[in-house]
Amino acid sequence: MLDFHQEANVVVLEAESADGWEAVVSGCFVPLRCAGFESAFSGRMVHTSIDSGLSVSQVTTCGTSAERTARLADRAVSDDIHISLQRSSTGLVSQEGRGTSVGPGSVTVYATDRQYFLDYSAPDQEQFIMQVSRSSLSLPVGMLEDAMQRLRVPGGVGAAPVRRLFAYATTVHTDGVTESSAATMRDLTEVMVRASFGEGAGIPRTSEGLRCAVRDYFREHASESGIDMDQVAGLHLISRRRLYQVFEEVGESPAAILRSERLAAAQKLLQAPGERTIESIAYECGFRDVGTFTRAFSRTYGCTPRDYRATLDVSDHPLAVGA
């Protein structure tokens, strides 16, 4: 059985057999041979086409393998590569006699015009896969070849360029394709590959790519008070004017983004169990004083931090309501 749903650039496909899944992956990616490992097989593909040479897909299965046979690879009509992030998957990726084990957070790069084998036979598999034409990337041919020979990207999602790429790809996947999506994803891909070899500054060149990098920096440094925007600009190899310009293009400001990241961090701390005081949370999230934190939190969430925490306490103990 094969279910199909399409909306704009997004195709959602579900299969309940290995044969059905083979049709799904062959249609969205390249022709493959698939096998299921569970008696009651299930697989789901949410596939977003960004342009003719770029797509992103969220893939979940209960356990399967996929093979690009030598015969199928010989018939390849594209020079695509797959950049695959394992969200909850474990298994093995092999190509042309080389192999690497993968687990949650692993990122692999392999060519679709060559023979390869993917062993995701364990249950509860989830991957996020980019398919992109090699010739559409502004990268040295030798560097791309080395990346494919290596198969696995060092550092995985622990490396900032990898984290930014998949965070942006996830946003495109969930929020929809925009005019800048293709250029930004290629930009972030190129930065990731270069950075994995210790080359380049690790800084995107597109406006949206820069916004991703700065947001990521603010998220990582949300606990630091007194962040200087001149320093932020310098760290990203741009002028202060350019820093403000890239955010003004979308009606935002660096200061507003930083405040948003601090408030998001504070909200998580308020939700966490423990005895942290409101004051300690304010300072831990980079606010200079409790009053500033309370006003900012109230404007964003419609209640004070204390009232927000009280609401959580009530919802955690529903039998106490009205007692």
pLDDT digits (tens, 9 = 90+) for 81-91: 999 999 998 99
Position 155 confidence tier, pLDDT thresholds 50, 70, 90: confident
Residue 145 has pLDDT above 90, yes or no: yes
Query: Residue 261's pLDDT is what?
Result: 95
DSSP category for residue 54: E
Q: Position of tokens 């559409």?
A: 136
- Nearest-CA neighbor of 293 among 284, 252, 220, 272? 284
Residue 8 has pLDDT above 80, yes or no: no
Is the CB of residue 105 less than 8 Å from the CB of residue 157?
yes
Query: Residue 323's pLDDT is what?
Result: 29
Residue 246 has pLDDT above 50, yes or no: yes
- Nearest-CA neighbor of 249 among 180, 153, 169? 180
Average pLDDT over residues 60-70: 94
Residue 313 has pLDDT above 80, yes or no: no
* Number of residues that make up the chain: 323
DSSP category for residue 209: H
With pLDDT > 90 as the criterion, what percentage of the chain qualifies? Answer: 81
Give the model confidence (pLDDT) of 98-135 as tens digits. Answer: 999 999 999 999 999 999 999 999 999 999 999 999 99
Residue 231 has pLDDT above 80, yes or no: yes
Query: Residue 319's pLDDT is what?
Result: 36
What CA–CA distance (Å, rounded) separates 155 from 160? 9
Q: Position of tokens 């594209």?
A: 78
Average pLDDT over residues 63-69: 94
How much is the mean pLDDT over the chain?
Answer: 91
Which residue spans of the chain are classified as CATH 2.60.120.10?
2-155
Which residue spans of the chain are classified as CATH 1.10.10.60?
203-323
DSSP category for residue 77: -
Classify domain 203-323 at the CATH superfamily level. Homeodomain-like (1.10.10.60)
Dihedral of CA atoms 314, 315, 316, 322 in degrees, nearest 10, equals 50
Position 318 confidence tier, pLDDT thresholds 50, 70, 90: very low
Query: Residue 39's pLDDT is what?
Result: 76
CB atoms within 10 A of CB 111: 22
- Nearest-CA neighbor of 165 among 182, 186, 139, 188? 188
CB atoms within 10 A of CB 171: 15
What CA–CA distance (Å, rounded) separates 244 from 258? 13
- Output the pTM of the full model: 0.87
Dihedral of CA atoms 183, 78, 169, 63 in degrees, nearest 10, equals 180
Is the CB of residue 144 less than 8 Å from the CB of residue 134?
yes
Average pLDDT over residues 252-274: 93
Query: Residue 276's pLDDT is what?
Result: 86
Q: Helix, strand or coil for residue 170?
A: helix
Position 18 confidence tier, pLDDT thresholds 50, 70, 90: confident
What CATH number labels 2-155? Answer: 2.60.120.10
